Amino acid sequence: MRWSKSLIPTLKQVPADAEVPSHQLMIRAGFIRKLGSGSYSYLPLGWRVLNKIIGIVRDEMNAAGALEVLLPSVQPIELWQKTGRDVDYGETMARFEDRHGRLNVLAPTAEEVVTHVAAGEIKSYRQLPFNIYQISFKFRDEFRPRFGVLRSREFIMKDAYSFDADAESLEKSYRIMYDAYRRVFDRCGVPYVIVEAESGEMGGSGSHQFTVPCETGEDIIVTTENGSYAANIEKAGVDAPPPNPEAVATREKVGPPEEVHTPGVGTIEAVCKFLKTKPREMIKTLIYTAGEEGTDTVACLVRGDHDVNPEKLTQLIGHHELAAPETIESVTGAGVGFAGPAGLVEKVSKLLVDHSVAAMVAGTTGANRTDYHVRRIVPGRDFPLEGEKVVVADIRNAVEGDTREGRKLVFKHGIEVGQVFKLGAKYATRLGCEFLDENAESRTCLMGCYGIGINRIFAAAIETGHDRDGISWPVSIAPYEVLVLGASPKPEGRAAAEKLYRELRAGGVDVLYDDRDDVRPGVKFKDADLIGFPLRIVVGDRGLSEGVVEVVRRSDKEMRKVPPSEVPALVAEELAAMRAECAARANEGP
């Protein structure tokens, strides 16, 4: 391809609304343009990158035996009502009424439709297992789209779904995808870690997340220092504090609870300021509703400097929501913001106490009386740590200083680029996806689902591969592998560049030729660095007078002068080395 025949509108200015490097560089390098909030056009070079990523993903899915399909993106709402996810997705799922008054959704994912389709085709255990996938348009009406294509409304997702007869077979199918994902990210050349994950609104019994560590990522991953454990923040378990007989002994010396008038002081910060205490010395009391009918009330106690982890709560009490103000008032007898553990156990269905709270000597907390807090609430004395309704457990997010199996936890930001889930029977049960087993008895399929964010790999590669001049691509997903940069305005210089370009192209090299005659070499150099072609061949007057051209690697800017005749061989060699490097770079980890 010739630059003059393509559309590569590079920009010098950093766009005002682009916060992260990948977003800035994608716009500056002419890869994308914004159409509206969270909506981007992919220009020729941007599409080439996406298409290369798609090629790698497709290749590895096919190699893993998955079958490509294409499912409708516009789906009847009735499908989503069967699983209740029309409610779970809320406003994030776009809906519209068609001309005949039927309600349709723009699919944010495809568990429902794929299970519906499979339910119609699966008759016998003989058809199992299989795995079908698609690479297609998805839409999520994000409340706040941001970071360019990292959190956009419209995106391309590879989503695969496995169907198995039993748990052992699901485990195998899951493992096959897990391994295929490793190959995908290895080949894409993005550094990644695999962490244990909660399955969230997907439901199911196990999940791993593939995350590219980088400062700008929205996800938080938690690892032990030695890497023996890795999970995302939603999943990461923490050790309970070690038994502390001294603290328990100290409790006996603590005086009785003391109510304090704290008018209008509701937040932890405000209470601390008012009572001159610290968040870690406070007990937060949160009231949730749970249970099939949503009529159970559950009180959760965490330290003032901790946050409840909704995923851990789901594991303990299933689906739950923060209680409505009326419920809180009726349970505590006080306005919102003044709940406390004393006397609460009789009023709720369950009392969940975080390990860290159970280990406190005493704490300050709400008095269950509007505008009052109470000091010197002692665990085990003023509220129970044992009993039928009481569970002491890990119900909070991990924080700095926590340990896991005695090892210190380390926190990193990252970009989630893929996730694999064991869904089990959740969707299959609700959508009637059954088969007859060897004994002609009807059984429910077990499913897995496996997603890759194509656009996010694009962004993650830039986040982890750029410098002040621009992007440095893994060779496998670079918009072009090689740039021939025509730096000579003279006819003979242009002819030499043209000849080299033709030779490389004839040799099957993925090459772009900067043939622009209305642009100075300096601009061409800057554009080349910005876009980040892994290999650049500069055909300039000075070099030609010495009988050489310059071959420059983008990654380390190493330059070699070689006669034009030696370029094809050198290019082949360099590209082969870069391809090998791709997987190595990916496996380096965080």
| Interaction site with a second copy (CB under 8 A) | 4-7, 9, 33, 35-37, 39-44, 46-48, 50-51, 65, 67-76, 91-92, 94-96, 98-100, 102, 104, 106, 113, 116-117, 120-121, 126-127, 130, 132, 134, 136-137, 139, 141, 143, 153-154, 156, 518
* Closer CB to a second copy, 73 or 349, in the complex: 73
Neighbouring CB atoms inside 10 A of 52's CB total 23
* Closer CB to a second copy, 93 or 417, in the complex: 93
| Tokens (6 digits) for 81 | 């009502």
Residues in contact with 278: Cβ distance below 8 Å, sequence separation at least 6, in sequence order: 272, 304, 305
Element (H, E) at 62: helix 44-63
Q: Do the strands 407-424 and 446-453 form a parallel or antiparallel pair, or are they unpaired?
A: antiparallel
Strand partners, 421: 207, 449
563: preceding bond cis by omega (within 30 degrees): no
* Closer CB to a second copy, 144 or 253, in the complex: 144
* Closer CB to a second copy, 67 or 495, in the complex: 67
* Cα 470–chain centre separation: 24
* Closer CB to a second copy, 48 or 373, in the complex: 48
Element (H, E) at 390: strand 390-393
Q: Please state the closest distance from residue 230 (CB atom) to a second copy, in A.
A: 33
* Closer CB to a second copy, 4 or 250, in the complex: 4
Q: Please state the closest distance from residue 80 (CB atom) to a second copy, in A.
A: 13
Residue tagged 């210190």 (tokens): 408
* Closer CB to a second copy, 67 or 580, in the complex: 67
Neighbouring CB atoms inside 10 A of 205's CB total 14
Q: Please state the closest distance from residue 585 (CB atom) to a second copy, in A.
A: 27
Q: Please state the closest distance from residue 97 (CB atom) to a second copy, in A.
A: 8
Q: Please state the closest distance from residue 81 (CB atom) to a second copy, in A.
A: 14
Q: Please state the closest distance from residue 18 (CB atom) to a second copy, in A.
A: 16
- Asked if 378 and 289 count as a contact pair (C-beta separation under 8 A), the reply is no
* Cα 192–chain centre separation: 11
Q: Please state the closest distance from residue 13 (CB atom) to a second copy, in A.
A: 14
* Cα 258–chain centre separation: 46
Beta-sheet strand order (sheet of 320-322): 320-322, 283-290, 296-303, 350-354, 390-393
CA dihedral for 293, 294, 297, 303, sign (positive or negative): positive
- Asked if 210 and 375 count as a contact pair (C-beta separation under 8 A), the reply is no
Locate all alpha helices (DSSP H) within 11-43, ordered by sequence. Answer: 21-28
* Closer CB to a second copy, 134 or 216, in the complex: 134
Distance CA 75, CA 103 (A): 9
* Closer CB to a second copy, 498 or 550, in the complex: 498
Q: Please state the closest distance from residue 153 (CB atom) to a second copy, in A.
A: 7
DSSP result, 508-541:
T--EEEE--SSS-HHHHHHHHHHHT-SEEEEE-H
Q: Please state the closest distance from residue 125 (CB atom) to a second copy, in A.
A: 11
* Closer CB to a second copy, 120 or 589, in the complex: 120
Q: Please state the closest distance from residue 134 (CB atom) to a second copy, in A.
A: 8
